[in-house]
Structure 1
Amino acid sequence: MAAGKTTMALGCRVYGLGVMAIAVLCLAWGTFDPGQPVPKAFPDRTALAYAAALLMLVAGAAIEWRRTVAWGAAALTAYYAFIVVILMNGRVVLAHYAEFGTYSNIAEQLAIAAGGLIIYAMSARIEATLAARLARLGQLTFGVCALLFGGAHFVYMNLTAPLVPQWLPPTQAFWAYATGFGQIAAGIAILTGKQARLAVILLTAMYVSFALLVWAPWLLADPTSHWIGSENALNLALIGVAWVVAESLARLGR
């Protein structure tokens, strides 16, 4: 159990760092994260962007401390689930419901909410049965998100393949298809409970490879790009989410 708690703490910390990185970028640019679509004409938009960034920064920092982890996780779950997913992205879904990208984009934000829910379930002083149900809900939500992430690789192959380094054999398209299939397979494993932990461990490693092979080199090439910076921060948060899901599966015996 002690080893499990250590691993869980590391996953939580990566998750918290990812959210804090998103927040710092929002503060630096004075705007919302690209995954949090707020109309430019919205009243007091800049002030709200700073307020949202401060909330994410404080909650992400709270994740890093054992005594405040449950409070930070609860705040991030509520913010991402109700404000980001429903209020911010809900209107986008209504306006572009026929576009697959609408759902894969919202899945990125939903995955962060799922990670927060699992961390809350695993750290809050709540009844064990409720904790297990909340954790499983977070796992299932992330499983659906993984399906959407993988599907986006196939639907938007023209956008995905160019992200793969050209020097990586055999081809860019091969790795775009392979990583898309891998995420779909991981999603199915999580939803069915068949080899779920192994699948999520491999998925975590895949997200780490995205950071090393794609997003970090892009950031070094153009450190002034808000979009590239936000993709790096988002990927770090998703590494944390996948890590937390893997550990929660181990603790629940799945």
Structure 2
Amino acid sequence: MRIDHLSKQQPAHPGIIHVEPLFLPENVIKALTIDNLIFGLDNDELKVLLVKRHEPGHDNLWALPGGWIRYDENLRDAAARLLEEWTGVKNLYLEQLKAFGRIDRFPNERVVTIAYYALVSAENYQDVIALSAGDVHWASVNNLPELIYDHAEILSYGIKFLRHQVCHQPIGFNLLPEKFTLLQLQALYEAILNTTLDKPNFRRKIMKMDLLTPCNEKQQGVPHRAANLYRFDPEVYKQLSESGFSFEI
């Protein structure tokens, strides 16, 4: 994991520890930060990547991974840079969520944060999972530790927003492997929506959309009957959307 331009006075992760101005890199905007909500799917459970803070008054509390924005970068570029630094993965699905700027959200300083959410695919999850030790941890959204500052508020908003988005846009496919079964797809929606879906109705609705392409392959090495594998076809979705198609789960 790459960390940029550290000095002896700077903490190991300048992106997550908001320190006094004396210790800030010269090329960052003092009052503006990025906080990334990084979601992944693990054994049919929705998880979010958290980092542990080590600072007076907040030692051992967990936080969303993020960092300071440089003067010479756009907001999205800053979010993508910080996302890669924390996960080691490029080109993840990334969207801006909301700005959080409550006056008292940060002690002794006026700091506004721009929240983004990212979705880590099953293949990339296995790469990021190597970070899940010590000060970096994948936590279940249903069993969260105490979070620093207003990060619990940010995460709560982000989870609700994600639940709404997956029902109206096919972004959930970004959490799956490239090839997946219908059962895996249903488990994805059940994990995000925190509910149980009727299997026949779900499959009928999904297949009726014509967004899945059969891979003409079956699962390998599973202890049960191997299921057919599918791919999501973004080009078909684009064409259908231009014709007035509405994605609804």
- The structure in which a higher percent of residues are strand is 2
TM-score (norm 1): 0.25
Which structure is richer in relative contact order (CA contacts within 8 A, separation 6 or more)? 1
- The structure in which a higher percent of residues are helix is 1
Structure of greater Rg: 2
